[in-house]
Amino acid sequence: MLKKALAGVGLVFALSAGPVAAEDVTITVLEVNDINQQYWQQMGDNFAAEHPGVKVDVQYLENEAFKAKLPTLLQSDDRPDIIYSWAGGVMEAQIEAGYIKDISDARADLEKTIYEGPLNAYRVNGKQYGIPVELSLVSFYYNKALVEKAGVDMSSIKTWEEFLAAVKQMKDAGVTPIIMAGGEKWPMHFYYSYLLMRVGGPDVLNNAKAGKDGGFTNEAFVEAGQLLKDLTDLDAYQAGWLSLMFPASTGVFGDGKGALDLMGNWLLGGQAANAADGKGLSMDEIGLASFPTVADGMGDGTQTFGGVQGFLVTADAPPEAVEFIKFMSTPEQQKIAAEAGAYVPAVKGTDQYLSNPLLKQVAQTLAASTWHQNFLDQDLGPSVGRVVNDMSVAVAAGEVTPEEAAQAIQDAWDQR
Amino acid sequence: MAETTVLARAHTTDARGSLITALIFLPPALAVFTVFVILPIGEAAWYGFFNWNGLRVPENFVGFSNFIQLFGNKAFDRAVINNILIIVISLGVQLPLALAMAVLLAERMVGAVAFRMLFFLPYILADVAAGLIWRFMFDGDYGLLSQISQFFGGDPIYLLSDRTWAYSAVLIVIVWKYFGFHMMLYIAGLQSINRDLYEAAAIDGANAWQRFRFITIPGLSPMIRLSVFFSILGSLQFFDMIVALTGGGPLNTTHTMVSFLYYFGITRMRVGFGSAVGVVLFIICIVVAFGYKRIFMKDD
């Protein structure tokens, strides 16, 4: 603690002394995944080797703690130089409040290495504010053995109708079709979001935000809710789905107690760790399938839903922090993460280093994606996003009608 | 004569001394109290009139909009009912149970101390830990409740997924965790009742029920009023266990007012709205606490 305080004092002096004192700078990073420690260590060392006197200090905060603490941290003198971000509405609020540095000058360099789509997720009003680092893809992970037992071929399923038929087939075969962590709500919003994308197409959210065609009460939102309700009506989820929490749900998948899980690629680690035997399913027992399309929908099957997590530089961070961000986004550094199987990097040419075949498939799907939609509970900001989560579960459970759900989202948007 | 002078002098030094003492010792405490208690209360009341995400200073003044939204919110209405249910269950189940156990265990019988310990233990446990343990007990796949049901040939029970009954799980855990504390209050109260009264009543021919009704209950009444007071305040502050046990789910049916404040104000970055909830909660607390003290505890 004292050491950190001293480092902070050192930083203040370094800044006030101007560019002469470029040595002994500590860049503080606040991150949410402490499983990536080795990667950070190695990357920090590499950076220090090129920039003598610059130290990278990485702190970790668990997801929810991070979100709860960050607003206070940003307003304090203890503000980290680089912070984790999911882009979207929360980032926009931080930018609007003036806590985030405009790094548009670095854009030209960043464009060379980072995929353009994800990079644009960190662009607001034509200015660049951060970099995407890890991409995640939400898609159907399935237990090959269980699907086969029910006589279903996941790769042949193209439409929602076919998907519903497959769910019925699994039920008839005595297989639990879908694992749903309804207790945390956001897993259900994956279904609602994908259906919305398939029904409404790429402009659906921008139109809703702009208040066009009825805003969030547009027909596409209502239809997405109805289609989701159709799935629940088949009794597709495991018993007690309304209270199952996410970590336990990955264990259910790992134990082979359900066939499908519409989840992000982080499921692969969780299902092993939380399985009863501590091993879960091996990678060749798991298949990956895209979300089906909807008849007469405006969206197509190559459009993807998932995350574009990355980092932002805060307002008073030293210039070295921007250097570090650029350094992070080089293929040489992201190769470390890819090889460790930590995540799918947003940096071009790194997918060849992914050793996990499923992650490789994720990377290829993302590379072919024409539209990658960020999680709605990030994109729409924390207040509207959580209402989307609430409403996804409420519609699925038959607590509200699809029309009421769409109206509730619109109300939340208006009260934002 | 000399004696009175000395006394008088002692008196003035005393008064001056206590004034100086007050001047030295009061400001720090007062400052701390003002900065950490009075100011935040005032600030929260102020924020309640803004649509504010917690960053920078609030600017978007919305009048009573936050309060209007609050009273139309289904989850908040349910939270208020849930708070009232805690009080009802405390008075209807927990208090009689604690009183009965206290009367039994206040006697010097074999194992009384062990039982007291046993019943008091859950109270020592942190709310979060209790919530997690019971979450596991109520689990439909692996939990004890389901196992028992299946042992008798029934279906597995997914209590925490049931919109109608999930909150009863919370109430069960509340009684389990807190009745031991109230039992201890009553045991302490019982020990301060004069034993001679019982002896005298017995000689006068009073039966066990009459002794309980006319000696124990009146003798315990200050403790009972205190215990009810703790139950009501405990209900108004109830939070941690909800987070660990149900997270407010399923479908926001198991929130209390405080967990509602956290989930709908803080995690959604709606600090203005959350402050409005806080203001309503504060007013309810003040009215209940002072009202109760004034009406039921004025003699204590």
Residues B70 and B203 in one domain: yes
The ipTM (two decimal places) reads 0.81
pLDDT at A368: 87
pLDDT at A8: 43
What percent of chain A stands above pLDDT 70?
94
Q: B265 is in which domain, residue-wise? A: 65-296
Asked whether residue B53 is assigned to any structural domain, the reply reads no
The model's confidence at residue A169, banded by pLDDT at 50, 70 and 90, is: very high
pLDDT of residue A5 exceeding 50: no
Residues B16 and B154 in one domain: no
Residues B23 and B130 in one domain: no
3-state secondary structure A81-130: CEEEECCHHHHHHHHHCCCECCCHHHHHHHHHHECHHHHHCCEECCEECE
pLDDT of residue A257 exceeding 80: yes
Q: Do A243 and B65 touch (CB under 8 A)?
A: no
pLDDT at B274: 94
In this structure, whether the domain defined by A139-305+375-415 belongs to CATH 3.20.20.20 is answered with no
pLDDT at B263: 92
Asked whether residue B55 is assigned to any structural domain, the reply reads no
B262-281 residues touching A, CB cutoff 8 A: 266-270
Amino acid at B89: I
pLDDT at A21: 43
- Which among B50, B51, B53 is the top mutation candidate for probing chain A, defined by the most A β-carbons within 10 Å of its own β-carbon? B53
Amino acid at B76: F
Q: Which residues of B touch A93 (CB under 8 A)?
A: 53, 55, 269
| Residue pair A239/B156 in contact by the 8 Å Cβ criterion | yes
Residues of A with CB under 8 A from a CB of B: 64, 67-68, 71, 74-75, 90, 93-94, 96-99, 182-185, 239-245, 381-383, 386, 390, 393-394, 397, 399, 415-416
- pLDDT tens-place string over residues A332-358: 999 888 888 878 999 988 888 998 899
Q: Do A183 and B249 touch (CB under 8 A)?
A: yes
Smallest CA–CA distance, residue A115 to chain B, in Å, is 31
- Which among B47, B52, B55, B62 is the top mutation candidate for probing chain A, defined by the most A β-carbons within 10 Å of its own β-carbon? B55
CA distance B4 to B180: 57
- pLDDT tens-place string over residues A199-253: 999 999 999 999 999 999 999 999 999 999 999 999 999 999 999 999 899 999 9
Residues B143 and B12 in one domain: no
Q: Which residues of B touch A64 (CB under 8 A)?
A: 267
- How is chain A split into domains, by residue range? 2-134+306-373, 139-305+375-415
Smallest CA–CA distance, residue B249 to chain A, in Å, is 6
- Closest partner residue to A383 (CB to CB) among B166, B251, B269 is B269
- Is-same-fold flag (A2-134+306-373; A139-305+375-415)? yes
| CA dihedral sign, ordered A19, A21, A22, A27 | negative
pLDDT at B9: 55
What average pLDDT does chain A have? 90
pLDDT at A238: 95
- For the segment A192-202, the average pLDDT, to the nearest whole number, is 96
Domain of B181: which CATH number?
1.10.3720.10
Across B139-149, b (16+ Cβ under 10 Å) vs e yields bbbebebbeee
pLDDT at B100: 92
- Closest partner residue to B55 (CB to CB) among A64, A74, A393 is A74
CATH number of A2-134+306-373: 3.40.190.10
Residues B184 and B215 in one domain: yes
Per-residue pLDDT of chain B (300 residues; tens, 9 = 90+): 445 555 555 556 677 778 888 888 888 889 998 898 899 889 989 999 999 888 888 888 999 999 999 988 999 999 999 999 999 999 999 999 999 999 988 877 788 889 999 999 999 999 999 999 999 999 988 899 999 999 998 888 999 999 999 999 999 999 999 999 999 999 999 988 998 999 999 999 999 899 999 999 999 999 999 999 999 989 999 999 999 999 998 999 999 999 999 999 988 889 999 999 999 999 999 999 889 888 887 766
Q: Do B55 and A415 touch (CB under 8 A)?
A: no
pLDDT at A119: 92
CA distance B92 to A398: 34
DSSP element (H, E) containing A53: none
Q: Do A240 and B160 touch (CB under 8 A)?
A: yes
The model's confidence at residue A19, banded by pLDDT at 50, 70 and 90, is: very low
Retrieve residue A114's tokens: 């980072």
> Beta strand A82-85 with A25-31: parallel, antiparallel or unpaired?
parallel
Residues B84 and B232 in one domain: yes
Residues B141 and B191 in one domain: yes
CA distance B125 to B137: 16
Total number of domains in chain B: 2
- pLDDT tens-place string over residues A355-380: 889 999 999 999 888 889 999 988 99
Smallest CA–CA distance, residue A276 to chain B, in Å, is 12
Asked whether residue B58 is assigned to any structural domain, the reply reads no
Residues B258 and B112 in one domain: yes
- Closest partner residue to A183 (CB to CB) among B51, B156, B247 is B247
- Closest partner residue to B249 (CB to CB) among A243, A381, A416 is A243
pLDDT of residue A22 exceeding 60: no
Residues B157 and B78 in one domain: yes
- Closest partner residue to B270 (CB to CB) among A239, A383, A397 is A383
More confident residue, A351 or A47: A47
